[in-house]
């Protein structure tokens, strides 16, 4: 499905931020493990969390949707080997986290995914899980992942070669579900939703920092049963709304209930340095996650050099940050972001192709982008390729609002993986996105 985004005059209004994808997936997995009745509100009802939910039900969980909520029910039987392949669709998080979780449960299962997921590197979780004692085979480091026998070792220590919350979480879930302890060191701080959720449930988590990075120690602990859980809004989805409001003229938008976990919201620090008019109100904690409301007004952005340390905390926002940088006066430099090459698409290439169609001067580096922006409207000559990647599609639809002739983005159906109702929500604020 191609979508066209037409130029607009202004954006205004209020919106409630859609639920967080990372947290929705984690509460399904950890909530199933608790084995009690849990009512989840704020759940992101999108393809990625849904494929994780179906996979868990195939393992014996009893999770169902009830209007806007999700109910995890106490199981009458233990988890068991699934009778068919577990299809995680487009979800890297679902595949990597479940590989760890299932490994710890000592079940046998085969995990598969769509064309994009089947090209993504899985040895980053399979290698440490093998070192932890599991027997797992892959198709040359890619899905299908076949989890066979072996027991997870206790007191495993691992220094991660890459900064990845999915790898960290996969190993933590393997330890948790096998009833063991683990110590993991990440070279740069990545999203800590798994740690926060386990801590919220009374699990023992201790962190420390050294020259190697941040070390997370998860000790064996009995987790408390809960009857409800509230998922905060997804900062990564809010990012599209924030940047749409910043780059459009005369705009003022309030986004309510946005997750503001520091390991996720690095884009706010970057945008403030770029001269963005952003105000945070109503800050609070919900289920051990920070959240609040974000008021955004049109701003004359300026380019900046993005600090390397912050990259893992803005990793999913770099395509939309590149759009913001296109409308910021001067140069924006993004480096140390080679992980973008192994996301749902090669996002360095996909972003560069979109910027090219927008006639924005830029340079692609091996690990980033240098973008020379200006406050001028753009003219887009060609249709923009999304490469089937939800975040690329949404980024270049947002760019269309400042184009003279609109942007046409190809193959936008994958927006459903993370942000259903994207067009409707953006159109309610004043955008003009149609098929
Ligand atoms: C995620 C972690 C990040 C992120 C992804 C979701 C998670 O991936 O890009 O969208 O939920 O843990 P990496 O861990 O591969 O960096």
Q: Could you report the per-residue pLDDT of 289-316, keeping only the tens digit for each? A: 999 999 999 999 999 999 999 999 999 9
Distance 93 CA to ligand 1 centre (A): 6
Residue whose CA is closest, atom 16 of ligand 1? 164
Residue identifier of the C-alpha nearest atom 4 of ligand 1: 316
The pLDDT of residue 161: 97
Nearest-atom number in ligand 1 for the CA of 21 is 11
pLDDT at 317 over 90: yes
Looking at residues 326-343, what average pLDDT do you find? Answer: 98
Spatial neighbors of 209 by CB under 8 A, at least 6 apart, are 215
Active-site positions?
Answer: 316
pLDDT in tens, 222-269: 999 999 999 999 999 999 999 999 999 999 999 999 999 999 999 999
The pLDDT of residue 381: 82
Residue 432 CA to ligand 1 centre (angstroms):
30
Model pLDDT for residues 393-420, shown as the tens digit of each residue: 999 999 999 999 999 999 999 999 999 9
Give 383: exposed, middle or buried? Use CB within 10 Å, 0-12, 13-18, 19+: middle
138 φ/ψ angles, rounded to the nearest 5 degrees: -135, 175
Task: Kindly indicate the confidence band of residue 341, based on its pLDDT and cuts at 50, 70 and 90.
Answer: very high
Q: How far is the CA of 73 from the centre of ligand 1 (A)?
A: 27
Distance between terminal CA atoms of the chain?
7
Which residue minimizes the CA distance to atom 11 of ligand 1? 22
Could you tell me the two tokens for 7? 């130029």
pLDDT interval class at 347 (50, 70, 90): very high
| Residue 129 predicted with pLDDT over 90 | yes
**Residue-averaged pLDDT of the chain:** 97
- Which ligand 1 atom lies nearest to the CA of residue 167? 14
Give the Cα separation of 431 and 155 in Å (integer).
52
The pLDDT value recorded for residue 407 is 97
Token pair listed for 189: 């701080």
pLDDT band per the 50, 70, 90 thresholds, residue 71: very high
Q: Is the pLDDT of residue 349 over 90?
A: yes
pLDDT above 90 (res 77): yes
377, two tokens: 């409207």
Quickly state the pLDDT bin for 368 (edges 50, 70, 90). very high
CA dihedral over 169, 172, 177, 178, signed as positive or negative: positive
Q: What percent of the chain shows pLDDT beyond 70? A: 100
| 375 Cα to the center of ligand 1, angstroms | 32
* Stretch 23-39: mean pLDDT: 98
CB atoms within 10 A of CB 160: 19
Residues whose beta carbon lies within 6 Å of some atom of ligand 1? 22, 93, 164-166, 169, 191, 315-316, 339
Position in ligand 1 atom list of the atom nearest CA 166 = 14
């Amino acid at each position: 499905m191609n979508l066209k985004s037409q130029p607009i005059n202004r954006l205004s209004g209020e919106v409630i931020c859609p639920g967080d994808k990372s947290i929705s997936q984690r509460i399904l997995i950890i909530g199933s493990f608790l084995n009690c009745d849990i009512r989840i509100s704020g759940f992101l009802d999108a393809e990625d969390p849904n494929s994780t939910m179906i996979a868990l039900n195939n393992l014996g969980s009893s999770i169902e949707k009830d209007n806007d909520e999700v109910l995890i029910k106490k199981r009458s039987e233990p988890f068991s080997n699934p009778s068919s392949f577990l299809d995680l669709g487009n979800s890297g998080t679902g595949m990597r986290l479940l590989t760890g979780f299932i490994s710890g449960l000592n079940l046998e299962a085969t995990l598969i995914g769509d064309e994009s997921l089947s090209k993504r590197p899985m040895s980053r979780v399979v290698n440490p899980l093998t070192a932890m004692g599991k027997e797992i085979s892959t198709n040359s480091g890619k899905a299908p992942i076949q989890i066979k026998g072996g027991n997870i070792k206790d007191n495993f220590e691992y220094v991660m070669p890459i900064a990845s919350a999915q790898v960290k979480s996969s190993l933590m879930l393997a330890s948790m579900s096998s009833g063991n302890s683990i110590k993991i060191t990440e070279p740069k701080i990545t999203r800590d939703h798994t740690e926060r959720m386990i801590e919220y449930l009374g699990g023992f988590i201790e962190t420390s920092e050294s020259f190697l990075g941040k070390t997370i120690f998860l000790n064996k602990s009995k987790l408390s049963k809960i009857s409800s859980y509230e998922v905060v809004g997804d900062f990564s989805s809010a990012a599209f709304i924030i940047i749409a409001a910043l780059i459009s003229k005369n705009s003022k938008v309030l986004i309510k209930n946005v997750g503001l976990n520091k390991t996720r919201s690095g884009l706010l620090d970057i945008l403030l340095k770029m001269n963005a008019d952003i105000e945070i109100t109503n800050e609070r904690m919900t289920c051990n996650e920070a959240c609040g409301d974000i008021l955004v007004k049109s701003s004359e952005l300026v380019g900046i050099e993005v600090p390397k340390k912050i990259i893992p905390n803005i990793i999913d926002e770099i395509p939309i940050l590149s759009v913001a940088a296109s409308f910021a006066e001067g140069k924006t430099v993004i480096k140390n972001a080679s992980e973008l090459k192994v996301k749902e698409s090669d996002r360095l290439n996909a972003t560069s192709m979109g910027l090219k169609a927008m006639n924005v001067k830029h340079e692609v580096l091996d690990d980033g982008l240098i973008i020379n922006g200006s406050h001028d409207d753009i003219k887009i000559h060609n249709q923009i390729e999304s490469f089937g990647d939800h975040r690329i599609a949404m980024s270049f639809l947002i760019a269309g609002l400042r184009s003279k002739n609109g942007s046409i983005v190809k193959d936008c159906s994958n927006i459903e993986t993370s942000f259903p109702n994207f067009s409707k929500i953006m159109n309610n604020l004043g955008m003009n996105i149609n098929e």
